[in-house]
Amino acid sequence: MINREIIRIKIVQLTYAYYQNGSNNIDTAEKELLFSLSKTYDLYNYLLDLIVAVTREERRRVDLLTQQAHREGKDVPSQKFIFNRFATQLEENKMLNEFLEDKHITWDDDQEFVRKLCDQVEQSEIYQEYMSQPTSTYDEDRELWRRLYKQLIEDNTDIDALLEEKSLYWNDDKNVVDTFVLKTIKRFDPKNKNKQELLPEYADVEDKEFARKLFRATILNADTYQRYMSEYSRNWDFSRMAYMDIIIMQIAIAELLTFPAIPVSVTINEYVDLAKLYSTPRSGGYINGMLDNLARYFNQAGLMRKPMEERKPRQDNRRQNNRRQNNYGEEGRPQRLRFVHRPRINEQQATDAAADAQQPIPDTQEAPQEAPAQEVPQEAPAQEAPQDAPAQQAPETPKETTEQTEA
């Protein structure tokens, strides 16, 4: 279950804590990292057990209502939900129960929260739609809990607050763990009964070693990696970089140089996403450019051998930017058309006047220089100018032309 996405998140957190606490014992820090990863697996099982806890609370409620119905001679409530076949199979799952017993994990101390969640379940349209049918298949029982989990548990601020109180290690884990809980629900098969396998602690046997090697390389080679960053920061002032940006790039460099099988693009994309999550809004683009420059240098210097795409010519970007500015202006807003009155001179009168003055006939396509350009509001029609528009030095109706200017 613990994959490399979770491992990278934990290493960012633990590396930051390592420097903030002034620790110099890497063995102790490594144990802390592995313990933090194990707590993520605890959360996975804890959330699966929440389904069981809700089912048991509903069962208690139905039992009370059934006893009351017998006393009053009324119809007993439906037992469809409390004996949902998926929830019952999960409740009996050996792997889950053994883990919970070993770790002493339970929802018994948080019954108030469980009851509140039960109320939300009963009020949901998903539950009411399910209960409106007298019977259901196993697939329908399983789908019910998948939908309830997504709607009521996945994005639940009360659960987030509760988990934060339970363990500081769970602050940033739930979003990732939710995806594994939903994946587990879909994997359940009635044929497996109580022997249905849950997800293992590590998605791959090599991932635990990946966590150790990446963390150690990050700490032990910190001076070298930071020197690379300082030398190839180019247009950026390394001394003014955000501290979290340095941490994230330091780990990324360790991954680039330590794991030849991981593509450059995968490493860069992963740590750009982490920068967006943990650092400043501008950190993603900055780290993307820095890591790309460093990776190309590492290839040229023989420090690593990983294929990389050729950089696109910058000329294409300039052309695109110029095209965007021509269409939208410098601030990215569409340009407006400005309608300008330009007096049109009657050709015959212009000829006569020129002959009298022994001057060349003026170009009928150009407005006299002394005629001021008057702006017309944008909503004014473009076909004709108002009849009362002043026409200086021209006896006829002005001709309108459009000039495109910046808004």
- Asked whether the beta carbons of 199 and 184 are under 8 A apart, the reply is yes
Give the pLDDT confidence of 205-259 residue by residue, as tens digits: 899 999 999 999 999 999 999 999 888 766 666 667 788 999 999 999 999 999 9
The pLDDT of residue 23 = 75
Token pair belonging to 3: 């994959």
pLDDT in tens, 92-103: 999 999 999 999
Q: What is the pLDDT of residues 9-25, one digit of tens each?
A: 999 999 999 999 887 89
- Tell me which residue of 161, 222, 166, 218 sits closest to 14, measured CA to CA: 218
Using the predicted structure, report yes or no on whether residue 56 has a pLDDT greater than 90. yes
**Mean pLDDT computed over 346-361:** 46
pLDDT bin (cut points 50, 70, 90) of residue 345 is very low
Total number of residues shown for the chain: 407
Say yes or no to pLDDT of 30 above 90: yes
**Token pair for residue 227?**
């020197």
Write the DSSP symbol of residue 142. H
Question: Span 221-301: which CATH code?
Answer: 1.10.940.10
Nearest to 343 by CA among 367, 374, 308: 367
Residue 331 clears pLDDT 50, i.e. is over it: no
Q: What is the pLDDT of residue 308?
A: 87
Strand 375-376 versus strand 337-342 pairing type: antiparallel
Task: Indicate the range of 292-296, 305-309, 318-322 predicted with least confidence.
Answer: 318-322
**Domain locations along the chain:** 4-195, 221-301, 337-404
* Distance, CA of 372 to CA of 374 (rounded, Å): 6
pLDDT of residue 75: 92
Tokens 């998605």 — which residue? 203
Residue 203's pLDDT is what? 83
Enter the tokens of residue 32. 């802390």
- The predicted structure's pLDDT at residue 68: 94
| Res 392 pLDDT > 50 | no
Question: Distance between the two ends of the chain, CA-based, in angstroms?
Answer: 55
Q: What is the mean pLDDT of residues 371-377?
A: 46
Task: List C-alpha distances in Å: 44 to 1, 114, 202.
Answer: 9, 17, 12
Band of residue 286 on the pLDDT scale cut at 50, 70, 90 = confident
List, for residues 396-405, the tens digit of each pLDDT value: 444 443 444 3
Question: Under a CB-based contact definition with an 8 Å cutoff, are residues 251 and 218 in contact?
Answer: yes
Among candidate residues 346, 348, 359, 351, the one with its CA nearest the CA of residue 394 = 346
Q: Is 372 left (phi over 0), alpha (psi -120 to 50) or beta?
A: beta
Q: Is residue 354 over pLDDT 70?
A: no
**329 has pLDDT over 50:** no
Please identify which residue in the block is written with the tokens 């052309």.
Answer: 319
**Residue 314: its pLDDT value, please?**
58
Asked if residue 387 has pLDDT above 50, the reply is no
Integer Rg of the chain from CA: 36
Residue 336 has pLDDT above 80, yes or no: no
Can you tell me the mean pLDDT for 346-375? Answer: 45
- Beta carbons of 48 and 90 less than 8 angstroms apart: yes
Q: Which residue has the higher pLDDT, 325 or 87?
A: 87
**What would the mean pLDDT of 288-297 be, rounded to a whole number?**
92
Can you name the residues that pair with 169 across neighbouring β-strands? Answer: none
Across 126-135, 278-287, 367-376, 377-386, the highest mean pLDDT is recorded for 126-135
49's tokens:
């057990």
Contact 202, 2 (CB under 8 A): yes
Q: What is the mean pLDDT of the chain?
A: 82
Dihedral (Cα; 136, 140, 142, 144), 10-degree rounding: -100
* CA 84/CA 190 separation, integer angstroms: 12
